[in-house]
Each structure stands twice: as structure tokens, then as C-alpha cells.
Amino acid sequence: MIVAERKPLNDIVKMVEPYRKVLILGCKGCVTVCNAGGVKEVGILASALKIAAKKEGKELIVGERTLERQCDPEYIEQVKDVIGEYEAVVSIACGVGPQFLAERYPETDIFPGVNTEFMGGALAHGVWTERCAGCGACLVHNFGGYCPIARCSKSLLNGPCGGSADGKCEIDKNVDCVWHLIVEKLTRQGKLDNLLQVQPPKSWTTARDGGPRKVIREDLAQ
């Protein structure tokens, strides 16, 4: 799941300050799950913007729509008949949404209403944590199912650094040292010897460092 947080209201207010008719566009995908950009959040943001404008003695007309997804052209197309009615759009999808909207509707000013944080999952209600860095070459099977790329502060592949202590990372005593977790897991499984295999230097050509990535499924591409 892509985890995002809504931008501070003051930041969004400044974005839309020059406009008098704004569309808040939500997404029913990941940002709905993490309570950042679904139908409920669209309504909350719309109300907050109108209240902020009223306090300044201004009238702001705010429209509300939520798409199934903002990362698919077929769903972006669903606002083609209404988007021209607004001076600006605030997308509260992940960072993909405002980019897709800006490409499809180049004459409309598009603004991001959330900050996209990471790919992760829920630890508890209202608590999400990073689990994947999207490096393009998954190796978690070598580490007891844990990802040292995303969960080690230094992305170390051959053991912990010298700064970890009592199972915690040196950056924060509340952050688990993933290498401590890896060793504990493999010890319980009787597979600790697996770590004797030296991991070669990682090729980052499949990661973001190699430039914008694209996946093409020949059986699906038209």
C-alpha cells in the first residue's frame, strides 16, 4: 500500500488562494485505506477550505469528486466533462494522481493535496510503517522475510552496523534493528548459517537510481 498524509491545511490554502472555484479530487485506492484521500477526506478538506476562505471574507466554491483510482487513464477520463468548470484541482491521491491529471488536462492547474510517504502496511489502526523501497529486485527470501533495503537505515545487506544496541537502531531507540530481527528469525528456524553467504554489491539499476521505471507486460500491452 502507498501511504500518504494530507498536506498541512495552510499549505493547501496558499495553493488555491488565487482561485475561486476549486475541485477536490479523491481516490478510492491506497489513500482511502490510510485515511488520507478517500470520500470522507474529500469532504473534510472541502469544508476546511470553505471555512478558511470565509474567515478571510472570500467566497470559495469547492466541488467534490472521488475516482476509483487516479493512476489509470480510464478513471481520469471520468472527470473530463466537469474539470473545465473549475479553475484548479487539488488531487488527494498519491503523487501519481496529480501527474496523471496534469498530463491529461494540461490547461487546468493541478495541485497535490497529500505528501506521499512510502510503501508499507498497517501495524494497528491509524499506524502505518514502511516495508518496501521498490528497489526492483526483491531479496527478502534471503533475510527471513525481512527487507534490509527498506528497514535498515543504511540498507546493509551483510549484517548490522556497529551502532545497533539491544535490538534497536542507532537512529532511534524506538526503531527495531532489522538485522536483529533477521538473526532472531533465522536462529529460530535453524537457518542462521544462511547468513554466511556473502551478498554481492547490489545492482541499483532496477531501482529509482536508474531513472524512471516502466513495466511492460507483453501479454497485456496493446
pLDDT tens digits, residue range 83-109? Answer: 999 999 999 999 999 999 999 999 999
Same domain, 83 and 140: no
In a domain, 22, yes or no: yes
pLDDT > 90 in the chain, percent: 91
Give the pLDDT confidence of 174-206 residue by residue, as tens digits: 999 999 999 999 999 999 999 999 999 988 888
- What is the distance in angstroms between the CA of the first residue and the CA of the last residue of the chain? 27
Same domain, 107 and 26: yes
Which DSSP category does 79 fall into? G
CATH of the domain at 98: 3.40.50.2300
Same domain, 113 and 151: no
Helices and strands (H and E) in the chain: how many: 7, 9
Same domain, 24 and 101: yes
- In 127-191, beta strands by DSSP E: 127-132, 168-169, 172-176
Q: What is the pLDDT of residue 222?
A: 67
Q: Structurally, how many domains does the chain consist of?
A: 2
Range of the domain at 189: 133-206
Give the pLDDT confidence of 149-168 residue by residue, as tens digits: 999 999 999 999 999 999 99
Mean pLDDT computed over every residue of the chain: 95
In a domain, 86, yes or no: yes
Same domain, 103 and 139: no
Give the model's confidence band at 217: pLDDT under 50 very low, under 70 low, under 90 confident, else very high. confident
Please say which residue of 55, 90, 118 terminates a domain: 118
Same domain, 6 and 106: yes
In the chain, where does DSSP find H-type helix? 9-16, 30-33, 39-55, 73-76, 96-104, 148-151, 178-189
Q: 45, exposed or middle or buried, with CB in 10 Å at 0-12, 13-18, 19+?
A: buried
In a domain, 220, yes or no: no
Please give the model's pTM, rounded to 2 decimal places: 0.89
Same domain, 141 and 197: yes
Whole-Å CA distances, 195 to 74, 121, 153 = 46, 26, 19
Please say which residue of 83, 118, 153 terminates a domain: 118
In a domain, 127, yes or no: no
Q: What is the pLDDT of residue 220?
A: 80
